[in-house]
Amino acid sequence: MLRRLLYRIVFYGWQYEIGQGVLDDPKQVIIGFPHTSPLDGVRAVTFSILMRLDHHVLTKQELFWFPLGYLLKWLGCIPVDRSQSQHIVQKMADEFAKSEKFTLLISPEGTRKNLDQPHPIHTGFWHIAKAVNVPIVLLCVDNRNKIGRAFAKVMPSDSMEDDLLKIQKLYAQYGVHVELDHQRKY
């Protein structure tokens, strides 16, 4: 309750639009574009708190130093050793299996980008969602108009290529251009 109050005060003036049925699943992977500011991650966590989702965020383990590490864990962050990325899918599958409700927030771009640059999709989110058979929810952050949108969800099919093209087209409707990166798995 204290966290929700704090976030409502800090992010006063922001609106959140949620498509019908988009956040109805107890387990899901939420991806968000664009990632242009360190505050985008904070806003995604804020969104999930306001929506009362049992959220978790993959965060580089280098940030888990004292005392910041305690705060990050309290906020639902999961430390990730990026040099061991091939184990992330299994680690997340294990985490999903432990809970009745589990929402994983991921920025598929990995690093922050300028709005004028293409936003390559790293596909680890798809592999996680496919492994645990949960939907991928699409979140768009419109910093200019202070709007967060959860506007669509995609169930992973047997074709990652088809799913990524579908995601690319859905984001394009909101003016977010994502670039497919087939070479990078995570």
pTM of the model: 0.85
- Burial classification of residue 61, based on how many CB atoms lie within 10 Å of its CB (0-12 exposed, 13-18 middle, 19 or more buried): middle
Say what the pLDDT of residue 3 is: 64
Say what the pLDDT of residue 101 is: 95
Percent of the chain with pLDDT over 70: 82
Mean pLDDT computed over 38-58: 79
Q: What are the tokens at 86?
A: 């091939």
pLDDT at residue 84 above 50?
yes
Say what the pLDDT of residue 104 is: 96
List, for residues 156-183, the tens digit of each pLDDT value: 999 999 999 999 999 999 888 887 665 5
Say what the pLDDT of residue 43 is: 73
Q: Which of 33, 18, 53 is nearest to 178 (CA)?
A: 33
Mean pLDDT computed over 74-78: 89
Every domain of the chain and the residues it spans: 2-180
Give yes or no for a cis peptide into 34 (omega within 30° of 0): yes
Q: What are the tokens at 84?
A: 């061991």
Say what the pLDDT of residue 186 is: 42
Say what the pLDDT of residue 116 is: 60
Ranges 35-49, 65-79, 166-180: which has the least confidence: 35-49
List, for residues 121-147, the tens digit of each pLDDT value: 788 899 999 999 999 999 988 878 888
Q: What are the tokens at 49?
A: 């708190």
Q: Which of 70, 68, 10 is nearest to 39 (CA)?
A: 10
Instruction: Decide if domain 2-180 falls under CATH 3.40.1010.10.
Output: no
